[in-house]
Structure 1
Amino acid sequence: MALKFAAKLADLVEDEPLGVTIGEERIALYLLDGEVHATHNVCTHQFALLSDGYMEDGCIECPLHQGRFDIRTGAAQCAPVTQPIRVYGVQVEGGEVFVDL
């Protein structure tokens, strides 16, 4: 496990994605139903930051073409996206969020 610091838990707001960069990786963090989730922050359809998108019903909608991904699994939910996004393991300790890269 390669846990890397991503953000303070206090920086996360329910249903509002937060984009962070860890090394060279663009990561999107989500607080959903009190649990923290992390995905790759770039849409698999075309380059757009998912953290600029809209969260609803456990999915993140790409701001460019409105494709949706499941935040928990990374699965593509509707056209035009067909490829899933990467999901990362998350650990919260002492008010800090760590992502397993």
Structure 2
Amino acid sequence: MIDTWTYICASAELLPGEMKTAFDEVTGAGIVVFNLDGDLHALEDMCSHEEFELSAGGFDAASGTVECVLHGAKFDVRDGRALCAPAYTPVAKFAVKREGDGVWARDDRD
């Protein structure tokens, strides 16, 4: 497992109902972090249906979902599972933490 954390933003820049993106320079993955009622969740910033950034879509904090603007696939931001067609495969979930005044995420895939 890679033990390199990627800085996403200052904690104050990611308020409930907001999302922020970053690029993991070690693994090359895009990361999108969601603040869902004060809890942070991180996913790979890539729709599992077709290669397109999830962060371009809408984050619905009321339902805890993000929708890909390309074809309307929705994913649960808490665990990355696909909620409707055309996506059937989950999006990779990443570790996320608050440390100091920052938000950090890590791509744990092998």
Q: TM-score, normalised by structure 1?
A: 0.90
Alpha carbons 1:27, 1:41 under 8 Å: kept: yes
CA deviation string 1:1-32 (max 9, x = no partner): 43332221222233232221121210011111
CA deviation string 1:41-89 (max 9, x = no partner): 0101112111111112101000111100010111000000011000111
Residue in 2 aligned with 1:98? 104
Across the aligned residues of Structure 1 and Structure 2, the Cα RMSD in angstroms comes to: 1.3
Q: TM-score, normalised by structure 2?
A: 0.84
Residue in 2 aligned with 1:43? 47
Identity %: 32
- Decide which structure has greater strand share: 1
Q: In 1, Cα distance between the equivalents of 2:86 and 2:41?
A: 23
Which of 32, 37, 51 is 1:33 aligned to?
37
Q: In 1, Cα distance between the equivalents of 2:7 and 2:21?
A: 13
Q: In 2, Cα distance between the equivalents of 1:95 and 1:46?
A: 35
Q: Which stretches of structure 1, 4 residues or more, deviate above 4 A after TM superposition?
A: none
Residue in 1 aligned with 2:11? 9
For these two proteins, the number of residue pairs brought into alignment is: 101
